[in-house]
């Protein structure tokens, strides 16, 4: 049995009054997901361990079967792996958004839907202006910025402390940014060879303030201002950590000999890297609603022909949820159903070798809240010959009655791997 997980990032939601009290999954036209639920088995999954933030770095790692208490180091190190930056033992790697501030508030976490080629210009500019040597004699940079994808980038601090409190910008839309600056953890340990937590927080906050001056003066933002467009006018570092230690999926699950990950998001590629999965690049994969769904489906089908396991991640619903765009989030769910899940199902249904399809989100990103919510998410398993349960459609409410009940964290991957 081959296995494929198709994950619609943040596509689960809460009841919406404008939709007659239905969730978006209940309201959307998604005949393939409903067919797979009707012919398969369903349940709900707790994806966020107690005490952890309800972010994609946490939820996707748990979905793939990892104990967060043993492997969690934040987003930064995962995105470093995806970018191809090999972390040193004394590095602190931090996710670094370029965001939009207006009237003292965080307006958007994505810099006005910043494109990678424009962001690269800004990151190189910030690196030139803000990179700091530890001292002139050593000639080693204390700080450097590394270009990622769109608004998602990397900040590396040599000898930085991970014991700091940062505010994910997507969780604080329309809030005043000054109250969200980085703080040292209470009782943070002093680690030999590293800055203290307070020194690290002070350094990051200094760079945030300087970045605002520098970015406001950059021609890219000055031209945007003339056109009345949102400016990419501040960095916002968050979710830092040290080099993680993770077993590969092959080491954990002997059923998996070879596997791949398909995603436009550095974070997911980084998880895949440490999980021992091959990273597949798909032309036109953007992380937004205009992503290349058909290309991802084609890549997944091709990979499944030679490999045992494929993880397909689609970011679009999460971004629409953060933007509070109800109509767009509905479209992303329908696109996922019709343009990615449907062609995969139609192909693998004809194969002699059986394939188990698993579908789920990683967390809720409610359009009316615009933040991540760590409530249980619905999931389904389908393969040819599975004995179905009584659930007739795929959504947050229907899957409460699913035969798998409520699974927690690593139990999802454990149950999936039992399907042989």
Residue 244 is predicted with a pLDDT of 87
Report, in angstroms and rounded to the nearest whole number, the Rg of the chain calculated over CA atoms.
21
Q: Which of 134-138, 367-371, 389-393 has the lowest mean pLDDT?
A: 134-138
Q: Are 278 and 260 in contact (CB under 8 A)?
A: yes
Residue 140 is predicted with a pLDDT of 57
**What's the burial of 136, exposed, middle or buried (CB within 10 Å: 0-12/13-18/19+)?**
exposed
**Domain edges within the chain:** 2-71+246-418, 80-242
Residue 2's DSSP bridge partners are: 355
The number of residues in the chain equals 420
What's the CA gap between 312 and 58, in Å, rounded? 17
Q: Strand 41-46's sheet: what is its strand order?
A: 278-280, 259-262, 309-314, 2-8, 355-360, 377-382, 41-46, 406-408
Neighbour count for residue 305 (Cβ, 10 Å): 11
**What's the burial of 334, exposed, middle or buried (CB within 10 Å: 0-12/13-18/19+)?**
middle
User: For 95-130, how does the pLDDT look when each residue is reduced to its tens digit (9 = 90+)?
Assistant: 999 999 999 999 999 999 899 999 999 999 999 998
Q: How does residue 329 score in pLDDT terms, banded at 50, 70 and 90?
A: very high
Cα angle, residue 359 at apex, residues 356 and 362 outer, rounded to 5°: 135
2-71+246-418 has CATH 3.40.640.10 classification = no
Q: Are 60 and 7 in contact (CB under 8 A)?
A: yes
- Pull the structure tokens for residue 381: 């398993």
What's the CA gap between 287 and 261, in Å, rounded? 14
Check pLDDT > 60 for residue 136. no
User: For 137-174, how does the pLDDT look when each residue is reduced to its tens digit (9 = 90+)?
Assistant: 444 578 999 999 899 999 999 999 999 999 999 999 99
* Element housing 158 (H / E): strand 152-158
Residue 134 is predicted with a pLDDT of 57
- Pull the structure tokens for residue 100: 């939009």
Residue 131 is predicted with a pLDDT of 82
Residues 6+ apart with CB under 8 A from 263: 269, 272, 285, 311, 312, 313, 314, 315
Residue 267 is predicted with a pLDDT of 87
Q: Are 151 and 232 in contact (CB under 8 A)?
A: yes
Burial string for 20-51 (b: 16+ CB within 10 Å, else e) reads eebbbbbbbebebbbbbbbebbbbbbbbbbee
Q: Are 381 and 357 in contact (CB under 8 A)?
A: yes
Q: Are 328 and 373 in contact (CB under 8 A)?
A: no
- Pull the structure tokens for residue 393: 């459609």
Question: Residue 36's closest CA among 12, 4, 81, 10?
Answer: 4
Residue 41 is predicted with a pLDDT of 98
Residues 6+ apart with CB under 8 A from 219: none
> What is the pLDDT averaged over residues 366-391?
96
Residue 137 is predicted with a pLDDT of 44
Average pLDDT over the chain, rounded to whole?
A: 95
The CA–CA distances, whole Å, from 397 to 150, 188, 389 equal: 34, 42, 15
- Pull the structure tokens for residue 313: 């991640």
Q: Are 333 and 317 in contact (CB under 8 A)?
A: yes
User: For 268-322, how does the pLDDT look when each residue is reduced to its tens digit (9 = 90+)?
Assistant: 998 999 999 999 999 999 999 999 999 999 999 999 999 999 999 999 999 999 9
Share of the chain above pLDDT 70, in %: 98
The CA–CA distances, whole Å, from 59 to 7, 94, 153, 173 equal: 11, 18, 20, 21
User: For 231-272, how does the pLDDT look when each residue is reduced to its tens digit (9 = 90+)?
Assistant: 999 999 999 999 988 999 999 999 999 999 999 998 899 899
Residues 6+ apart with CB under 8 A from 93: 74, 76, 77, 79, 80, 85, 87, 154, 155, 156, 240, 241, 242, 243
Q: Are 305 and 1 in contact (CB under 8 A)?
A: no
Residue 133 is predicted with a pLDDT of 63
Q: Which of 6-20, 51-65, 77-91, 277-291 has the lowest mean pLDDT?
A: 77-91
């Amino acid at each position: 049995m081959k296995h494929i997980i198709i994950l619609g990032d943040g596509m689960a939601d809460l009841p919406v009054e404008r939709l007659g009290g239905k969730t978006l999954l209940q309201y959307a036209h998604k005949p393939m997901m409903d067919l797979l639920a009707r012919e398969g088995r369903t349940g709900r999954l707790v994806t966020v361990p107690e005490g952890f933030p309800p972010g994609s770095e946490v939820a996707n790692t748990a979905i793939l079967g990892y104990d967060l208490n043993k492997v969690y180091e934040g987003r930064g190190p995962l995105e470093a792996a995806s970018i191809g930056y090999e972390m040193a033992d004394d590095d602190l790697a931090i996710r670094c958004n370029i965001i939009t501030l207006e009237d003292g508030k965080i307006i958007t976490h994505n810099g006005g839907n910043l494109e990678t080629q424009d962001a690269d210009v800004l990151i190189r500019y910030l690196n030139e202006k803000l990179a700091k040597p530890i001292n002139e004699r050593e000639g080693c940079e204390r700080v450097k910025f590394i270009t990622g994808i769109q608004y998602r980038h990397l900040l590396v601090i040599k000898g930085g402390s991970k014991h700091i409190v940062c505010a994910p910008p997507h969780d604080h839309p329309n809030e005043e940014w000054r109250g969200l600056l980085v703080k040292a953890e209470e009782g943070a340990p002093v680690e030999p060879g590293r800055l203290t937590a307070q020194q690290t927080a002070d350094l990051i906050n200094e760079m945030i303030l300087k970045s605002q001056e520098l970015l406001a003066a950059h021609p890219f933002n000055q031209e945007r201002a003339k056109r009345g467009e949102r400016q990419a006018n501040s960095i916002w570092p968050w979710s830092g950590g040290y080099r993680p230690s993770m077993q590969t999926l092959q080491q954990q699950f002997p059923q998996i000999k070879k596997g791949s990950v398909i995603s436009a998001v550095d974070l997911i590629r980084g998880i895949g890297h440490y999980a021992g999965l091959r990273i597949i690049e798909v032309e036109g994969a953007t992380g937004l609603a205009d992503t290349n769904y058909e290309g991802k489906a084609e890549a997944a089908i091709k990979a499944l022909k030679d490999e045992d396991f494929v993880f397909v991640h689609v970011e679009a619903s999460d971004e629409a949820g953060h933007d509070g765009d109800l109509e767009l989030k509905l479209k992303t769910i329908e696109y996922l159903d019709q343009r990615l899940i449907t062609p995969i199902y139609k192909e693998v249904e004809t194969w002699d070798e059986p394939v188990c399809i698993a579908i789920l989100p990683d967390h809720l990103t409610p359009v009316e809240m615009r933040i991540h919510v760590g409530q249980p998410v619905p999931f389904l398993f389908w393969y040819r010959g599975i004995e179905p349960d009584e659930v007739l459609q795929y959504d947050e409410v229907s899957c409460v009655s699913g035969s798998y009940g409520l699974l927690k964290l690593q139990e999802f991957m454990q149950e999936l791997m039992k399907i042989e």
